A and B are shown apart, each in its own frame.
Chain A
Amino acid sequence: MLSPLKTIVPRIFMMCLICAAPCVAWAQLPGEKPIRLSADLDLTASQQKQLETEALKGSSEAARKLATFHFIVRGDRDTTLRWYTIGAENGDASCQFSLYDLLESDPNTELRAHFWLQKSADAGFPYAKDELKRLKDRASH
């Protein structure tokens, strides 16, 4: 059975896409052009390069944007993991929570997933705090 969290992260991304893209979608006539809701997350090669440099130097926002791009637009799990890890190391609570979500389903990485969940919750990220509470409640029953 899927945990409630399993549905949270995809929902967050879907909400972002739905909120960001209606103007683009609305303007297109049926059959005129395929509608791609993730279009506003696209990055050019030079934008990617710039963000990569910023992320490696320590920018949380740059790492988060790159991870989202590779997750949503490209569907590249390995690269998504790389940039969520960089973002998490840079101290970004939402990257830490996303990293938890990606790692916790694998028994080999489950322990480290919980380390990042705790970091995210310690930084005050609401989803992480809720998830931590849910896990503690489940463990106590």
Chain B
Amino acid sequence: MGAWFIACMAVCAVDAVHADQRAATDEPIRLSASMDLAESQRAQLEAEALKGSPEAARTLANFHFIVRGDREATLRWYTVGAENGDSSCQYALYGLLKVEPDPSTKLRARFWLKKAADGGLSYAKDEVDRLGEALPH
């Protein structure tokens, strides 16, 4: 739920104004329009993310999550972002992994949650508090 929540909040915040403007006309409203990426933009962001940019990885992950609905690509780029040290990617990765049935994946989800909390992300700290003793140290 956490990753969806973050992603939806991002879309809503960015597109609220545009949506109002479009509603005045009769155009179809697509809230994720501002997250669209051209092929060249994707290629550029991928190169930056693989070199270590947290922002590029997060932008790509959000694109694949919200715009394309591609779970594998979303996981890939949230993982790259998490490895690049981005707390929100770490928390989003936690959200995606914790619902997997495999206990190993759930265990790794907690690793990323702890990283995100250590990085100071408030959602992650709240979740750690909520989970309490269940979190591995």
Contacts and interface: CB of A to CB of B under 8 A. Distances in A.
A112 B50 contact: yes
Interface stretch (A15-23, A30-38, A50-58, A72-80): A50-58
B111 A115 contact: no
Contacts, number: 30
Nearest to B112: A89
A89 B50 CA distance: 14
A129 interface: no
A5 B137 CA distance: 36
Report whether over half of chain B's contact residues are helix, strand or loop; otherwise say mixed.
helix
Interface stretch (B19-27, B65-73, B102-110, B122-130): B102-110
Contact of A58 (B47, B51, B111): B111
B116 to A, nearest CB: 13
Contacts of B107: 53, 56-57
Contact of A57 (B51, B80, B83, B110): B110
B119 interface: no
Interface in A28-74: 52-53, 56-58
Interface size classification for chain B: 10 to 19
Contact of B111 (A57, A112, A118): A57
Where chain A touches its partner, the secondary structure class is helix
Nearest to A114: B51
Contact of A118 (B52, B80, B82, B114): B52
Contact of A89 (B47, B83, B110, B136): B83
Interface of B: 47, 50-52, 80, 82-84, 104, 107-108, 110-111, 114, 136
9 contacts: A86-B108, A88-B83, A89-B82, A90-B111, A111-B50, A111-B51, A112-B80, A114-B51, A115-B84
